[in-house]
Structure 1
Amino acid sequence: MVRSYPNIVITGTPGTGKSTHSSLLASTYSPPSSSSHPLRQIDVGALVKQEGFYTDYLEEWQSYEVNEDQLLDHLEPLTGTKAPEPIDGEEFDEDELRQAKQQDEDDEARGGLVLDWHTCDVWPERWADLVVVLRCDHSVLWERLEKRGYPLKKIQENNEAEIMGVVADDARSSYPAEAVVELTSQESGDVEENVERIIQWIHAWRQARGLE
């Protein structure tokens, strides 16, 4: 199956604004000459709890030990499996483009997943067309996590992870460099600006493949 919309991973340390970005992106993007919203936000943490895709609950960290195999098996049919090649690329395949164009905007296998989670290296490389790593000043992040009521130990761990760029390093080691972008999520206007950048990227991705 060939997807007609790109799959986008939105990741970052807890508190960097992943869900806010993902929700706005999914509710804002529409293809040209259409009022539909074909992107699908997947709040992975909520999905794991809802579907029981975990093996244990870690009380100390207030988090679940995720059963990654169950999670991946659940999402695989929605990913579209393969992205069509750009029409000016050496590996362009007209049959793939035709398959992608035949996808309806509500087809389950159309792709267009917005995978919202604090980690990213679990996703197969073939799934991810764009990996957005949200970054935030650690002092701002600390305040956000305090407001969430996180225990001190969890705040410290996440704060250190953000300072060290753990999620960004994981993204760069798991996906091609051209697929990974870091965006600042700190000021009040950052979310709208970042989402607009991602939407422009989606249009460019689809245009390069003859889908717009």
Structure 2
Amino acid sequence: MGTNLLINRLNGPNVLIIGTPGTGKTSLCARVLDKIKYGHLNVAELIESKKLYDEWDDEFQCTVFNSKKVKAELQAMDMNSGGYLIEFHSFDVFKSNAIDYVIVLTCDIEVLGNRLEQRKYPANKINENLQCEIFQIFYYDAIEYFGKDKVVSFRNNDYDDQQKVIQYIQDIITVQ
């Protein structure tokens, strides 16, 4: 995928950053937003702040978000004018036409495992996330949902990798 999609949104494209937990979505967005002024939406924070979840999952030690509530909240935000850098570990809460670019972050398994261990994730949660990464679940599901032209994948193991992603995001935002 290149940076040549024609986006007709007043405030620029909506860029969705997805990937297995621990691939660096939040740190990437923070670094991008240090360099450019752009709207930002951390969907996980939105879910927590607006209580858009129904239950607690003891096995994985996390809340289980209610996709209907999340979809309703996102629709109320009206992202049609664009200008959002969005991060989340899921994407099916978005209408495919609301997102212009999808960046799937990936990580080497050893790097990802270390990051998840540092977060004190339980072993079963680490294993499930590592399996998602090994089989590139986010990448293939994103292509199926959004179409190949909107989806690109970047490795995000270290600073140098992150610089490449940041440059790509700057390019697609400023090209518009």
Query: What is the TM-score when the length of structure 2 is the normalising length?
Result: 0.89
Q: Which residue of 2 aligns with 1:184?
A: 155
Superposition map of 1:36-185 within 5 A:
37=37, 39-81=38-80, 110-185=81-156
Shift of 1:46: 1.5
Q: Which residue of 2 aligns with 1:20?
A: 27
- In structure 2, stretches of 5+ residues that fail to align are 1-8
2:114 counterpart letter in structure 1? E
Residue 41 of structure 1 aligns to a residue whose secondary structure is strand
Query: What is the TM-score when the length of structure 1 is the normalising length?
Result: 0.75
1:127 counterpart letter in structure 2? A
Matching of residue 9 in structure 1 with residue 8 in structure 2: no
Looking at secondary structure, tell me which structure has more helix per residue. 2
Residue 159 of structure 2 aligns to a residue whose secondary structure is coil
In structure 1, distance between residues paired with 2:13 and 2:25: 18
In structure 2, distance between residues paired with 1:153 and 1:122: 25
In structure 1, distance between residues paired with 2:158 and 2:65: 32
Q: Using the aligned pairs only, state the percent identity.
A: 29
Shift of 1:187: 2.3
C-alpha RMSD of matched pairs (Å): 1.5
- Per-residue CA deviations over 1:151-210 (Å, capped at 9, x if unaligned) read 111111100110010111110110021100001101222212211111111122x1xxxx
- Structure 1 stretches of 4+ with a deviation exceeding 6 A read none
- In structure 1, stretches of 5+ residues that fail to align are 30-36, 82-109, 207-212
46 and 80 in structure 1: CA distance in 2 versus 1, 3 angstrom threshold? closer
Structure with larger Rg: 1
2:41 counterpart letter in structure 1? I
Shift of 1:72: 2.0
